[in-house]
Chains A and B, each alone.
Chain A
Amino acid sequence: MTTTATPTTSAPVETGASPDRAAVRLAISSTPRPPVPGRVSTALTFGWRGMLKVKHVPEQLLDATVTPVMFVLMFTYLFGGAVAGSTGQYRDYLIPGILVMSVLFTTVYSGVALNTDVTKGVVDRFRSLPIWRPAPLVGSLLGDTVRYVIAGTVIIVLGVALGYRPGAGVVGAVAALALVVVFSFGLSWVFTTLGLLLRSPSAVLNSGFMAIFPLTFLSNIFVEPATLPGPLKAFVDVNPISTLATASRGLMEGNARVGDVVEVLAVAAGLTLVFATLTVRLYRSR
C-alpha cells in the first residue's frame, strides 16, 4: 500500500508539547485591546530587543572587535618601533585611532541586523502593528549605541592594560568615546540604507566591510599622513575618519581643536539627515 496516512495519534517528533485546545480558546478570549503605546515607549521597547541580542548573540559584537584588538597588538609590537620610534609612543598614537576603527566596524552590523529582519519577515510583522512606523529603526539604533559603547570600551580597557594613560584621564576617554559613538550613530544610517537595498545579510556584511575597511586604512588611524605620497595624503586629509581620529586623540589628551569636533558633529548630522531619511523612506515602501 502506498497510502500516505495522516498520523493522528503518533508521538510528537519534536520536543514541544501539543497545544491544549481548551487552553488555547481561553488564551484567545482573555485579552482586551490596550491603548497603543507612545512613540518613546515603543522605541525603547525596540532598544530592549537590541540589548537582548547582545546578550544572546555576543559573537556578533566579538566579530567586530576581534580585528581591532588584533591590530592593536600586532601593530604596537611589530611595527611600533619602526613607525614611531618606540612601542609606547606608537601605542599612544594608535589607541584613540583603533577606538574609532572598532566602533565604526560595529556600525556595519546595524545594516546586517536590519536586513536579517527583512529577509526573515520580522519587518512585515512590525509594519503590520499599529505603532509609530520608524520605531523599529530608531529603537534598534538606540540599542546599537550600547553595542558601540561596549566595542569602544574594550579598546580603551585594552589600551590601559598595555600601559596607555590618556592625558585627560577618565574624562578624556569618556569624551572621546562619546564623540565616536555620536559619529557612528550617523554612519550607521548608511548601513541601514544598504541593509534595505541588498538581498541578504551576508551581502550587507561584505559590501559594508568592503567600504569601511579601506576608509579606515586610508585615514590617519595607523600613520601620520605627512610621509604619504601626494594624492594619498590628500585623500587621508579630507577623510572624515581622519578628523574623527584626530579629535579622538585630542579629547583623550585634553587638547582637542574645537574645529575638529564641530566638523565631526557636522558630518554625523549630515549623514543622519540624508541616510536616515533614505532609510525611513525605503522602510515605508518595502
Chain B
Amino acid sequence: MAAANRVGDSSLAIEAVGLAKNFGAVRAVRGVDLAVRRGSVYGVLGPNGAGKTTTIRMLATLIAPDAGHARVLGHDLVTEADAVRRSVSLTGQLASVDEDLNGRENLVLLGRLLGLGRRQAKLRAVELLEAFGLAEASGRLVKNYSGGMRRRLDLAASIVVTPELMFLDEPTTGLDPHARNQVWDIVRALVAEGTTILLCTQYLDEADQLAEGIAVIDEGRVIAEGTPARLKASVGNGSLHVRLLDPADREVAAALLTERLGSAQSKNPVQREADPAALSVTCSSGDAGAQAVAALGAAGVSVADFSLGQPSLDEVFLALTGRVPSDGADAKQEVSV
C-alpha cells in the first residue's frame, strides 16, 4: 500500500507500515499499513474483533507493536512516544470519563494535567461545557449522564487542549440517531479547524458521512482501501428491501428488479430472504431503488412494505470477502433515502 513507499512524508499525519500485535495466541493485528493525510478524517471500518482498538492503542502509544513501525505527526511511535503524546488525544471505545466526578471537574482535571493554571482550567471547562451543550449538567455526576452526554463530555475532554491528531474509537456505537448526529457535528467542527482524525467504526454509514478515505479491516488486516464512494460502488450505493403482499409474486418481482437494478458489478443483485414474500436488492442509488419499487406497482405486483437503506457493513463484507463477518453484531444500520 502507498504508506510503504513514503516514510517521512510531511503531509502525512500517520504513516504506519506492517503494524502487528499478538495477545498470546490471538493475532489481533497482523500487518496494518496506513497513510493518513494531515487535516483529513480517515476511517477504519471493520466488525467487532477486527483489530481496530488494538491498532488505535498502538498508534496512541498505549501498547508497543510487536512488529512494524509508524510515524505519528512525524514522530516515531516507539522512540519518540512522549512527543507523540504531546500532540494527539484519544477518545477511547468506552467514554473514558470519570463517573464519580461531575462534568466540570472532569474537564478541569484534564486541563490541569495538560498544564493549564487553576483559573485557566476552570474557564476552559466552562467554555467547553457551554459549546457542547452541557452547561446545565456541568454540576451533575457523570454517572447520571445519558450515553450521548457522556460521549460529548468525552469529546470535550479530548480537546481541552486542541490536539493535532485525534483518535476516535467507535464514537457513536450505542447512541440514538439524535445523539449520533450531535457527535458527527462535533467531528466536522474539529476537522474544519484543522484537526486530523482517525475514526474507527463498525458503520459504513458513519465512515461515509465523515471520512475522506476508508480502510476496511478484517482479522487484523486491511482488506480494502479507498474513498467511500469507491467502496460503496463495489456493492452498489444502496440496498432495497421489499416485502410483497403475495409470496407467489416473488419470482416475477425478482426478475423485474434484476432487470431494473442489475449492473456491470452485480449482474444478479437480488437475494431471496427467509420470509417467502421478501427480497433484498443492492442498487446503484436511492433513486434507482425508488423507481424500481414504483415499477413493481406498475407491473401489478403489490408491495406490502419496503425500505431503502445504505448497504450495511455486512453487505460490504459479503462483497469484499464473500462471507458475512463472523460476529456480525449490530453492524446493520439503515437510513431513509
A interface residues with partner B (beta carbon < 8 Å): 1-8, 10, 12-21, 23-31, 33-37, 41-42, 45, 48-49, 52-53, 56-57, 117, 120-122, 124-131, 285-286
Contacts and interface: CB of A to CB of B under 8 A. Distances in A.
6 contacts: A14-B146, A19-B182, A24-B131, A27-B132, A34-B115, A49-B105
A30 B335 contact: no
B134 A16 contact: yes
Contacts of B149: 14-16
B181 A6 contact: yes
B257 to A, nearest CB: 17
Contacts of B113: 37, 42, 45, 126, 129, 131
B121 to A, nearest CB: 9
B327 interface: no
Contacts of A56: 100-102, 141
Contacts of A49: 98, 101, 105, 109
The size class of the interface chain B forms with chain A is: 35 or more
Contact of B161 (A15, A33, A52, A127): A33
A17 B136 contact: yes
A24 B186 contact: yes
A138 B181 CA distance: 40
Interface string B120-141: 1000100110111111110001
Interface stretch (B8-16, B82-90, B226-234, B258-266): B82-90
B253 interface: no
Contacts of A48: 109, 112
Interface stretch (B32-40, B43-51, B187-195): B187-195
A18 B335 contact: no
A18 to B, nearest CB: 5
Of A12, A16, A21, the most chain B CB neighbours within 10 A belong to A16
A8 B133 CA distance: 17
Given A23-B130, A36-B86, A52-B105, A125 B96 contact: yes
Given A7-B178, A16-B152, A45-B112, A129 B85 contact: yes
Contacts of B334: 3-4
B127 A27 contact: yes
A207 to B, nearest CB: 22
A106 B186 CA distance: 42
A31 B120 CA distance: 10
B268 interface: no
Contacts of A130: 82, 85-86, 114
B92 A28 contact: no
Contact of B336 (A4, A33, A121, A125): A4
Given A25-B192, A28-B195, A129-B110, 12 more contacts: A1-B307, A2-B307, A6-B181, A24-B132, A27-B131, A29-B193, A30-B162, A49-B101, A124-B90, A126-B113, A130-B85, A286-B63
B161 A31 contact: yes
B97 interface: yes
B152 A121 contact: no
B118 to A, nearest CB: 10
B160 A31 contact: yes
Given A14-B146, A128-B90, A4 B307 contact: yes
Contacts of B162: 28-31, 33
Interface string B299-337: 000000111110000000000000000000000001110
Given A52-B101, A121-B92, A128-B62, A36 B115 contact: yes
Contacts of B152: 16, 19
A112 B60 CA distance: 26
Given A10-B178, A33-B161, A56-B102, A121 B85 contact: no
B114 to A, nearest CB: 7
B210 interface: no
B210 to A, nearest CB: 15
A186 to B, nearest CB: 25
Contacts of B306: 1-3
Nearest to B84: A130
B100 A127 contact: no
Contacts of A124: 57, 60, 62, 90, 92, 96
A122 B134 contact: no
A18 B244 CA distance: 41
B185 A24 contact: yes
Nearest to A11: B178
Contact of B131 (A1, A12, A20, A120): A20
A232 B86 CA distance: 56
